[in-house]
Amino acid sequence: MSRILLSGGAGYIGSHTAVELLNEGFEVVIADNLYNAEKSVIDRIEEITGKSVTFYEIDVCDKSAVDALLDKENIDAVIHFAGYKAVGESVQKPLMYYRNNIDATLTLLESMKEHNVKRFIFSSSATVYGPFNAIPYVETMKIGDCTSPYGTTKLMIEKILDDVAATDKELSVVSLRYFNPIGAHPSGLIGEKPSGIPNNLMPYITQTAKGIRECLTVFGDDYDTPDGTCIRDYIHVVDLAKGHVAALKYALNHAGSTPINLGSGKGTSVFELIKTFERVNNIKLNYKVGPRRDGDIAAFYADAALAKKLLNWETHQTLEDSCRDSWNWECKNK
């Protein structure tokens, strides 16, 4: 049995991954400073799985705290979710983003080296492909030209991981490039909890449906796409979480640094997502079309072949599942 450290494991993707790891018989240790998460999430992970989690309320930028954790716990692999993630905020506060996201990664890697921990799974993002690549995005493409400091931290960390793996032949690193995670655990016990006004589409939809927001604005309907709205590759967070379990199993048996897309391989427009949400949940959404949002790319989705080939992983949840589970979570948790 392996014991896995999840940095940022109380967050949206981390908590769902904790559930899937526990379901597969892994032991889970979570380190989270609760900057953007709540302690009650730990209890809910335990409630869903009937298994216990070891929790450390620490900041993974704090080297002595990470050292103390790795001294005590017998960790076999680290899945690193911790980091700031708001694209717009990162443009306003670049130093905060570079300091925190890079520092957290370096601190974990240094402490892992001292404690002989050789497996690292990193939360990367499709944003590393930048605005100039053709779609679908393939892992062999040149990455860069990220449109925000947030995206650049993901790019820089992938580069750091490549360099570190090149000098340590026992080290195994997988950078998972997430597309657009939506949905929630079907129990309605864990899900995405944005602080303040949501930036992302699905939480804005559910909050509008609930009446917390008056009206959803669709950011532009004059893109060069079939219905004029932007196209993204939405992936159910439970599928995404299972992708981490598959990546971890891969990392247990392969050295080197490997980037892998986690997406469905299918593109969905903003209008399609809104219509699916309305149909599945039998709700009429109040929305209007507004101007384009700065920095948005018209369309992108994943080439999901490498994940299938290396990890034997692919998505199983539908857009309908995601819309139903996001709404169930919104209704149960306000």
Contact footprint for ligand UFG (CB under 6 A): 85, 87, 125-127, 150-151, 180, 199-201, 204, 216-219, 230, 232, 270, 293, 296
Q: Shortest gap between Cβ of 13 and ligand UFG (angstroms)?
A: 11
- Is 146 or 248 the residue whose CB approaches ligand UFG more closely? 146
Q: What's the burial of 129, exposed, middle or buried (CB within 10 Å: 0-12/13-18/19+)?
A: buried
Q: Shortest gap between Cβ of 182 and ligand UFG (angstroms)?
A: 8
Q: Shortest gap between Cβ of 217 and ligand UFG (angstroms)?
A: 6
Q: Which residues contact 281 (CB under 8 A, 6 or more apart)?
A: 209, 323, 324, 327
- Is 79 or 87 the residue whose CB approaches ligand UFG more closely? 87
Residue of 56, 129, 150, 204 with catalytic role: 150
Q: Shortest gap between Cβ of 167 and ligand UFG (angstroms)?
A: 29
Q: Which residue sits closest to ligand UFG, CB atoms considered? A: 230
Beta strands in the chain (DSSP E): 3-7, 27-31, 54-56, 77-80, 119-125, 172-178, 180-182, 216-219, 231-232, 234-236, 256-262, 268-269, 287-290
- Is 89 or 296 the residue whose CB approaches ligand UFG more closely? 296
Active site residue 12: no
Q: Shortest gap between Cβ of 221 and ligand UFG (angstroms)?
A: 9
Query: Alpha-carbon distance 142 to 135, whole Å?
Result: 13
Distances in Å between the Cα of 250 and the Cα atoms of 30, 174, 315 are: 21, 9, 17
Query: Alpha-carbon distance 5 to 9, whole Å?
Result: 8
Distances in Å between the Cα of 307 and the Cα atoms of 87, 247, 325 are: 26, 9, 24
- Is 172 or 276 the residue whose CB approaches ligand UFG more closely? 276
- Is 226 or 256 the residue whose CB approaches ligand UFG more closely? 226
- Is 104 or 171 the residue whose CB approaches ligand UFG more closely? 104
Q: Give residue 69's region: left, alpha or beta (phi > 0; psi -120 to 50).
A: alpha
Cβ atoms of residues 178 and 126 within 8 Å: yes
Distances in Å between the Cα of 190 and the Cα atoms of 17, 37, 233, 315 are: 11, 11, 22, 20
Q: Shortest gap between Cβ of 6 and ligand UFG (angstroms)?
A: 19
Query: Alpha-carbon distance 108 to 120, whole Å?
Result: 9
- The residues assigned a catalytic role are 150
